[in-house]
Structure 1
Amino acid sequence: MVQAPLADLRDKVAAFRAATAAALAALRAGLEQRASATAARELLELLLDTSHVVSKVEKLIKELPIAQPDSSNVQAISGNKGYSGNAITPPIVDAGIDVRETQSILLERIASEMNRLKFYTSHAQNLPFIENLEKRVQGATKLLDGSLERCFVDGLEHRDGKVVYNCLRAYAAIDNTSSAEEIFRTTVLSLLIQKIVPQNYAKAVAGVSSDDLEDDYEQIMQCVEKDCKFILEISSSANSGLHVFDFLANSVLKEVHLAVQKGKPGATSPGKPKQFLKNYKASLRFLDFLEGYCLSKPAVAKFRSEPAYADFMRLWHVAVYFTLKFQDIAGGLDSALTATITPVGMHENQTKPKILLLKQSIKLLESLQACWSDEVLVFSHSDKFMRLSLQLISRYTTWLSSGLATRKASDGSSNSPADAAWALSIPVEDFIYEYARNLRSLGIDAREIESFRALWQCVAPTDKQDNIQF
């Protein structure tokens, strides 16, 4: 009798469980349908927004030709003989200025819409509807680029700060800063710098243009100050959003790089060490001048990180220059050490005393001084010049130690080092003789010094012991 209620309860629980499972399945199906509907609605809205933006961009672009200024009319009126420069500006000129500014504002608006369009298309890729719009988008992009370039060039030619500012904001909106930098380089800088550094290698070979860059850099810096400062100030203005541009590196430095490379290729050749070092240091001063336009340390770091900066620095083969100077300095000392040893002044008249007695010692001192002279040293390779200095000292120390050890042994055996033969071949009286010559240059007659006469008689040949002539 007890089993009947339990069986009834079990049936009720099973029925409730089945009903709950069915309700849960229906709820899940409803949620999936709602999610699908939401996704479909969002996609539809995205496609509608994309189509709307494309149509809006095309409509705005169609308005651009209306905003094109009639430059021929402006020139005709401004060139009229009856027009005085002190008179009120003709309405057509003011209209031209207003038209340029209006056009730049319109282009900035179009660029903003194009930025939205790129965002929409990036979230709806591989859809037939978007693929069908691709040609329209490409056409609008091409028209925008052409119109923006013309407006930007017009603003640069007229030094219209508002137009340039609006155009730069438009370029920044469509993430095409490189085009603005290239247009400024080719439109403004190229002609100016070509007047300073003619890009004609035949003239350079004929001697019309020297390989010296110092004067050229001075003129280029004046051009930057006069013709580039306005756009540098615009692009670095606070809260403008134009910090993405780097006209210093991608326009100014890039054009200078091309001018030097084409107009004066010999200026960067380490085969002429003196000219190379002079031009290299002038280039570093020019880079310091450009960095003066950077308003903060991050701006300087950004300038130095640009590919144009690295390309310009690669023009200067400082490693090759150091190799040539290494061979010159180290080779000179090595030649002096392998030559016949001769005390200074043995065969020449001295006008002033020498601090060092041996020519080899003087050559070492001259070599060390050359390593750190302004005419040789490159600070970026100062560690290598320090290493060279230590190598020179080590080479001289080895030469001198070997010679003194051989002289002390005085056995003349064949086992003596090759670079120590000088110690056996040089007569010791030559050093005493040279010492007396140095004393005479100081106004002291060594023959009157008893200790010197005694030393001379110990080392001098028999026929010269009693006759000391200097």
Structure 2
Amino acid sequence: MATDLQRSPTQLPPRSQNDFFGDPIDSNPLWFKKTAFLEPNFSSESYISDLRSFVPFDTLRSHLRTHLSALNSDLVDLINRDYADFVSLSTKLVDVDSAVLRMRPPLSDLRDRISAFRSAVESSLAALRNGLRQRAEASSAREILELLLDTFHVVSKVEKLIKELPGVAADWSGADLGSTGNGSLSNGIFSQHAESGTSLRETQSMLLERIASEMNRLKFYIAHAQNLPFIENMETRIRSASLLLDGSLGRCFVDGLEHRDENAIYNCLRAYAAIDNTAGAEEIFRTTIVSPMIQQIIPYGSSQLVGGPSEDELEDDYQQIMQSIEKDCKFLIEISSSANSGLHVFDFLANSILKEVHFAIQKSKPGALSPGKPTMFLKNYKSSLRFLAYLEGHCPSRSAVTKFRSETAYVDFMKQWNVGVYFSLRFQEIAGALDSSLMTAAIAPVQNPHTNEENSLSLTLKQSITLLESLRTCWKEDVLVLSCSDKFLRLSLQLLSRYTTWLSSGLAARKVGSTGSNPGSEWAIAANAEDFIYVMHDIGCLVTELNGNYLEHVLQLLSSCPTEVLGILKQSILQGGKSLKDLIPIIMDTMIEALVEKSVEDLRQLKGITATYRMTNKPLPVRHSPYVSGVLRPLKTFLDGEWASYLSSEAQNELLLGAAERITGRYYELASDLVSVARRTESSLLRIRQGAQRRAGASSDTSDHNISDTDKICMQLFLDIQEYGRNLAALGVVAADIPAFRSLWQCVAPSDRQGQITF
């Protein structure tokens, strides 16, 4: 105790370096990172703006000041620790200025020498660059000069070679450019082949091929020496040489074509390919060989009259054209498509043959291209596709077929066949026929049901027959265009949907008793129960056809499509059949409801039973009422009619049971209401009678042995339902199995008969 009292007030007990939770007292929060100040891209503004989003400004300032104090304290500690070395540093720096003066002159001298050397190097570098530039300019000038000299030599060589051609010297305007020696050479060369026309033609074609290769070389030189005065001065000579070459080459090519000289034709084609004038060769072949050939088959001209519809057919024309191609054109096609010939740049099939055929058809038979006559248009279109397939058969490779289809002549030819307009016309024709048949106000079975002998399919309604014919028309050979198969599939599904909508809207209108805003539904309101038998029968036949032969036929036509596409197609057609099949329960319900309404007309005679026994002395009934025999008569007549043969046995049983249950249900409703009203009325009359007797002073005792009117009514109803049960049994229906009949029995049967239903 004394020791504690003697302790100085300033000597406080040592504090723990840890706080209450065990963390160091001077520890910084997690968000305060000292290493962030040492980063080279540290920015105080961004650092503060980032922290202020979740740290109060006062807290941030407090921690920063604390950190500054710690840094100052560390700096002082470092200076105090190495203070001796810090003080001795100044004592070692003695006579520093004199040392600086001694080192300055050598350094200045070195700098001057370096500057002089740099200037010399820069001068040498500039001279070297200037020399290289002059050398490059000289080299470029030399190249241009060599190019001009080569151009001049090639032009001269071309002129000399052209003058060697027979018949050119007389037309050569620049005769002074050639030498007389060359003319003698020309006469010497061609005089060797004067006796053999074929050899002369071949030699001429070889010379033309050589000239063409030189012209190709000349074009290369001109392309690299454009806008030079020397070249511009030679343009006249070059143009004249080019025109003469084209004329001579064309004449030689025509001569080779007329004489079927394969070597001459081959050389001429190589010449055309060398000067990049494939269009010229294709045009010459078209005008020389193809055009006369086509005009013999499809004549056209100013005096040609357009023929009638029968003359618009192209099948016979294509057959003759293909025979003529085999006879007159195949030799050139084989030459141009020969392997390793370098003549693949020509496309005589498209730019000569197909182009001329297209032109002849446009001029002579424009009606063949008109989709306004769908049958003729489709026949000609398919004939044209077969003709194109024949032309593609002459292509040596798949790449050649691709090139053939990409030619302008091919594209223009295909554009003339407006398949879109053709489909629109077919759409209006097919869909219009179905729509017209569905707009009738009533339906009636046809006299002779439409029967397909192949499929044993019979339809009874005109609308159903029209639908099936429309669906089959979409995939007929003389209607279908495979390139538009997706559109015809959509049309088929639209036809199914239109027919399904016509049925469903009619059934809905019949249920509400009004067509509303659905024109074309009048048939259902006017139809009787027998008409719906035909509707159900036709639906069953259509669903069977759609899921069977029809689907198989469509899949066979489109068998070339991918498996995924065929799967979608099959699913879409099956879905259309399912939509139709889903209407069968609704139609069955409609027929049952129609039969029930007829039966209810006889059941309404129940109300006469009350009038018969109310306030009368008529004895207790002993036989059923006459109306009972007529309750099930509409159902029996319906099932015994000839139209019932269109229903399967399952459908007949379903119809019989459904109608029996509903009629019995309505019977129970009417009978229970009748009994309930009779009992309430009797109770009211009994109270009134008792009150009157009490007021008259008479005895209120009534005879309990008298049978009440309600008992008589119940007995009559009991006899009636017994007869009704016997009538149901005659139709093959067990009355006890119907819940409504059991309820009706419990309602009117005597107490001793309610335990068992017997007739």
TM range (shorter): 0.7 to 0.9
Partner of 1:388: 491
Which sits farther off after the overlay, 336-345 or 165-174? 336-345
Which sits farther off after the overlay, 206-215 or 233-242? 206-215
Partner of 2:13: none
Specify whether residues 221 and 369 from structure 1 end up closer, same or farther in structure 2 by C-alpha distance, changes over 3 A only: same
AA aligned to 1:428 is A
Which of 356, 375, 390 is the matching residue for 2:459? Answer: 356
**Could you tell me how far 1:357 is from its partner in structure 2?**
2.3
**Could you tell me how far 1:404 is from its partner in structure 2?**
1.6
Cα deviations by residue, 1:331-384 (Å, 9 ceiling, x for unpaired)? 0000000024333334x6989986222211111110000000001000011111
AA aligned to 1:44 is L
Q: Are residues 1:258 and 2:359 paired? A: yes
**Could you tell me how far 1:237 is from its partner in structure 2?**
1.0
Query: Does structure 2 retain, via aligned residues, the 8 Å contact 1:204–1:210?
Result: no
Structure 1 counterpart SS, 2:368: helix
Q: Are residues 1:151 and 2:252 paired? A: yes
Structure 2 counterpart SS, 1:108: helix
Cα deviations by residue, 1:358-413 (Å, 9 ceiling, x for unpaired)? 21111111000000000100001111101111111111111000112223x2x533
> How well do the aligned residues superpose, as a CA RMSD in angstroms?
2.8
Partner of 1:397: 500
Looking at structure 1, the residues matched to 383 and 280 of structure 2 have their Cα atoms a distance apart, in angstroms, of 30
AA aligned to 1:392 is L
Query: Does structure 1 retain, via aligned residues, the 8 Å contact 2:147–2:221?
Result: yes
Partner of 2:703: none
**Could you tell me how far 1:221 is from its partner in structure 2?**
0.4
Query: Does structure 1 retain, via aligned residues, the 8 Å contact 2:441–2:523?
Result: yes
AA aligned to 2:502 is W
Specify whether residues 349 and 45 from structure 1 end up closer, same or farther in structure 2 by C-alpha distance, changes over 3 A only: closer
Which sits farther off after the overlay, 13-22 or 165-174? 13-22
Q: Are residues 1:326 and 2:427 paired? A: yes
Residue correspondence of structure 1 range 8-19 to structure 2 within 5 A = 8-19=109-120
Residue correspondence of structure 1 range 73-222 to structure 2 within 5 A = 94-200=195-301, 203-207=304-308, 210-222=311-323
Looking at structure 2, the residues matched to 223 and 255 of structure 1 have their Cα atoms a distance apart, in angstroms, of 13
**Could you tell me how far 1:10 is from its partner in structure 2?**
3.5
Structure 2 counterpart SS, 1:355: strand
Cα deviations by residue, 1:20-48 (Å, 9 ceiling, x for unpaired)? 11111111111111011001100110111
Query: Does structure 2 retain, via aligned residues, the 8 Å contact 1:212–1:275?
Result: yes
AA aligned to 1:299 is A
Partner of 1:286: 387
Partner of 1:466: none
Looking at structure 1, the residues matched to 163 and 450 of structure 2 have their Cα atoms a distance apart, in angstroms, of 90
**Could you tell me how far 1:182 is from its partner in structure 2?**
0.5
Looking at structure 2, the residues matched to 267 and 35 of structure 1 have their Cα atoms a distance apart, in angstroms, of 68
Query: Does structure 2 retain, via aligned residues, the 8 Å contact 1:341–1:358?
Result: no
Query: Does structure 1 retain, via aligned residues, the 8 Å contact 2:446–2:462?
Result: no
Structure 2 counterpart SS, 1:65: coil
**Could you tell me how far 1:416 is from its partner in structure 2?**
6.2
Looking at structure 1, the residues matched to 473 and 199 of structure 2 have their Cα atoms a distance apart, in angstroms, of 64
Looking at structure 2, the residues matched to 41 and 321 of structure 1 have their Cα atoms a distance apart, in angstroms, of 68
**Could you tell me how far 1:238 is from its partner in structure 2?**
1.2
Query: Does structure 1 retain, via aligned residues, the 8 Å contact 2:441–2:522?
Result: no
Query: Does structure 2 retain, via aligned residues, the 8 Å contact 1:67–1:102?
Result: no
Partner of 2:39: none
**Could you tell me how far 1:459 is from its partner in structure 2?**
12
Cα deviations by residue, 1:111-150 (Å, 9 ceiling, x for unpaired)? 0011111111111111111111111111111111000000
AA aligned to 1:326 is F
Which of 527, 534, 538 is the matching residue for 1:426? Answer: 527
Partner of 1:367: 470
Looking at structure 1, the residues matched to 345 and 217 of structure 2 have their Cα atoms a distance apart, in angstroms, of 19
Which of 638, 652, 655 is the matching residue for 1:455? Answer: 638
**Could you tell me how far 1:9 is from its partner in structure 2?**
3.6
Structure 2 counterpart SS, 1:419: coil
Looking at structure 1, the residues matched to 462 and 120 of structure 2 have their Cα atoms a distance apart, in angstroms, of 112
Percent identity of equivalent pairs: 64
Looking at structure 2, the residues matched to 10 and 433 of structure 1 have their Cα atoms a distance apart, in angstroms, of 119
Looking at structure 2, the residues matched to 180 and 142 of structure 1 have their Cα atoms a distance apart, in angstroms, of 15
AA aligned to 1:52 is H
Partner of 2:442: 341
Q: Are residues 1:301 and 2:301 paired? A: no
- Give structure 2 stretches of 5+ with no counterpart: 1-101, 170-191, 538-632, 644-759
Looking at structure 2, the residues matched to 93 and 48 of structure 1 have their Cα atoms a distance apart, in angstroms, of 37
TM-score, L = length of structure 1? 0.84
Q: Are residues 1:277 and 2:378 paired? A: yes
Q: Are residues 1:29 and 2:130 paired? A: yes
Specify whether residues 413 and 356 from structure 1 end up closer, same or farther in structure 2 by C-alpha distance, changes over 3 A only: same
Looking at structure 2, the residues matched to 374 and 215 of structure 1 have their Cα atoms a distance apart, in angstroms, of 19
Looking at structure 1, the residues matched to 373 and 303 of structure 2 have their Cα atoms a distance apart, in angstroms, of 20
Which of 487, 496, 509 is the matching residue for 1:406? Answer: 509
Partner of 1:60: 161
Partner of 1:78: none
**Could you tell me how far 1:456 is from its partner in structure 2?**
5.9
Looking at structure 2, the residues matched to 431 and 325 of structure 1 have their Cα atoms a distance apart, in angstroms, of 32
AA aligned to 2:267 is N
Looking at structure 2, the residues matched to 155 and 392 of structure 1 have their Cα atoms a distance apart, in angstroms, of 61
Query: Does structure 2 retain, via aligned residues, the 8 Å contact 1:181–1:250?
Result: yes
**Could you tell me how far 1:432 is from its partner in structure 2?**
6.2
Cα deviations by residue, 1:233-271 (Å, 9 ceiling, x for unpaired)? 111111111000000000110011011111111111111
**Could you tell me how far 1:200 is from its partner in structure 2?**
4.4
Specify whether residues 435 and 153 from structure 1 end up closer, same or farther in structure 2 by C-alpha distance, changes over 3 A only: closer
Structure 2 counterpart SS, 1:418: coil
AA aligned to 2:225 is A
**Could you tell me how far 1:198 is from its partner in structure 2?**
1.1
Cα deviations by residue, 1:86-125 (Å, 9 ceiling, x for unpaired)? xxxxx97752111111110110011001111111111111
Structure 2 counterpart SS, 1:285: helix
Partner of 1:83: none
AA aligned to 1:97 is T
Structure 2 counterpart SS, 1:240: coil
Query: Does structure 2 retain, via aligned residues, the 8 Å contact 1:343–1:431?
Result: no
Query: Does structure 1 retain, via aligned residues, the 8 Å contact 2:371–2:418?
Result: yes
AA aligned to 2:487 is K
Which sits farther off after the overlay, 7-16 or 292-301? 7-16
Query: Does structure 2 retain, via aligned residues, the 8 Å contact 1:61–1:144?
Result: yes
